[in-house]
Chains A and B, each alone.
Chain A
């Protein structure tokens, strides 16, 4: 049996100096900066949607994008704060107001001009490119976030995976609205909410596994064979 003094000895033995984490706000800012770079690169590579200036003048569209970005920012802050053990778990609700506004704008737009789904509303090629943007935005963001928050595996994996997934989903969805002219509002609804929901769901599903993998790696050798 490994006794507790043995464990303490082993841990003291391995007590190398560590670099303290920067404050969560700053770390969230770093990640958001990385997200901005990814989206900017995509915008350069793909080009912004053609009617962006026009659409931005519509209050509904601008509000929806702003709400999506706010959701992403607040969710990222929440994820970084929640990854620390001594922060309140209520921080998970931080993105809720922005999320509500975002859902409301998307839903409202859907109610008012869903008839706008016309014959030239969209074409299949656009959907595919949209999907490519989706993957190109969310994958690097997810990897960066997972690496930055890997130690949360030992603490609050569920809440961190959820808020982190929401942050990635919201940023990705804002990027989609900026880059692709999907004018069919039903399509936007599906893309916006679908993206966020899909990414959040993936994060909850695989976030657990990923965190378990990190946990196995982070935790010093344990589980001495029982007598």
Chain B
């Protein structure tokens, strides 16, 4: 999970202007015109507008999120919102503030959701991999039973466990080796450990 370090800060005007292109006022007037045509159903104008604002939104989102996947999700969220409320835009008013207000709303929502998730999700540590049932921690049961149980897991979970736990790769190495994302590996590991716990409890009562 992406954890933005430091306090997330939302500003209306970019301080270091990473994405703000030259001639902002002119560009925004153009955005306003494009949006007006999009409201009338002009798809080319709409595509031009969305492709034009996406990098700008990415720069806005990049100030609050670290993981590229989070930034892209935020950008897509904002684009979807713009689409849903595009009838609420008044072409007589500037487009920039309208867009930034929507973007801030979506970014704040996403930050809040992350905070909530972080307050109830805990990263896996060694303690979570210890089975609470005694027999599972005995030397004799270890190898054979565990390997048999792992073989019974769905292939993706089995692979995650083998790479991360048996071969003790880091998440990044495992992601490289398997071609899957870090998040997917974490999820698969978590599920695998849960099913293993169930299986081992069932087998050695």
* Contacts from A to B (Cβ < 8 Å): 1-4, 7-8, 11-12, 14-21, 23, 83-86, 151, 154-156, 218-220, 222, 226-227
Known: A15-B41, A20-B90, A155-B105. A219 touches B47 (CB 8 A): no
Q: Would you give the shortest CB distance from A155 to chain B, in whole angstroms? A: 6
- If A7-B80, A85-B105 touch, whether A18 touches B39 (CB-CB below 8 Å) is yes
B residues in contact (CB < 8 Å) with A: 38-43, 46-47, 50-51, 54, 69, 72, 75-77, 79-81, 83-91, 93-94, 97-98, 101-102, 105, 180-181, 183-184
Contact present for B87 and A14 (CB under 8 Å): no
Q: Decide if A11 touches B80 in the complex (CB within 8 Å).
A: yes
Can you list 14 A-B contacts (CB < 8 A)? A8-B47, A8-B79, A14-B83, A15-B46, A20-B39, A23-B90, A85-B88, A151-B84, A151-B85, A151-B88, A154-B102, A154-B105, A155-B105, A220-B83
- Find B51's partner among A8, A86, A218 (CB 8 Å cutoff): A8
- Complex contacts, B83 vs chain A, CB 8 Å: 11, 14-15, 220
Q: Are A219 and B81 in contact (CB under 8 A)?
A: yes
On chain B, the residues within 8 Å of A7 by CB distance are 76, 79-80
Question: B180's closest neighbor in chain A, by CB?
Answer: A227
The answer to whether A85 and B101 touch across the interface, beta carbons within 8 angstroms, is: yes
Contacts of A21 in B (CB 8 A): 87-88, 90
Report the separation of the CA atoms of residues A142 and B129 in the bound assembly, to the nearest whole angstrom: 53
A-B contacts besides A84-B88, A86-B94, 20 pairs, CB < 8 Å: A4-B72, A7-B79, A8-B79, A11-B50, A11-B83, A15-B41, A17-B41, A18-B41, A18-B87, A20-B87, A21-B87, A85-B98, A85-B101, A85-B102, A151-B88, A155-B81, A219-B81, A220-B80, A226-B183, A227-B180
Q: How far is the CB of B32 from chain A (nearest CB, A)?
A: 12
Q: In the complex, what's the smallest C-beta–C-beta distance from B86 to chain A, in angstroms?
A: 6
Shortest Cβ-Cβ A-B pairs, 10 listed? A17-B41, A85-B101, A18-B87, A86-B98, A15-B46, A86-B97, A8-B50, A12-B47, A218-B84, A7-B76
Which B residues touch A155, using CB under 8 A? 81, 85, 101-102, 105
Which of B42, B84, B89 is within 8 Å of A20, CB to CB? B89
Contacts of B105 in A (CB 8 A): 85, 154-156
| Chain B, Cβ-Cβ closest to A13 | B43
Q: B56 to nearest A CB, angstroms?
A: 12
For the complex, what is the distance from the CA of A16 to the CA of B86, rounded to whole Å? 11
Enumerate chain A residues within 8 angstroms of B81, measured Cβ to Cβ.
154-155, 219
Contacts of A227 in B (CB 8 A): 180-181, 183-184
Q: What A residues does B69 contact at CB under 8 A?
A: 1
Asked whether A4 lies within 8 Å of B101 as measured between CB atoms, the reply is: no
Smallest beta-carbon distance B163→chain A, Å: 16
Q: A17 to B45: give the CA distance in the assembly, Å.
A: 12
Closest-by-CB residue of B relative to A87 is B101
Q: How far is the CA of A206 from the CA of B46 in the complex (A)?
A: 35
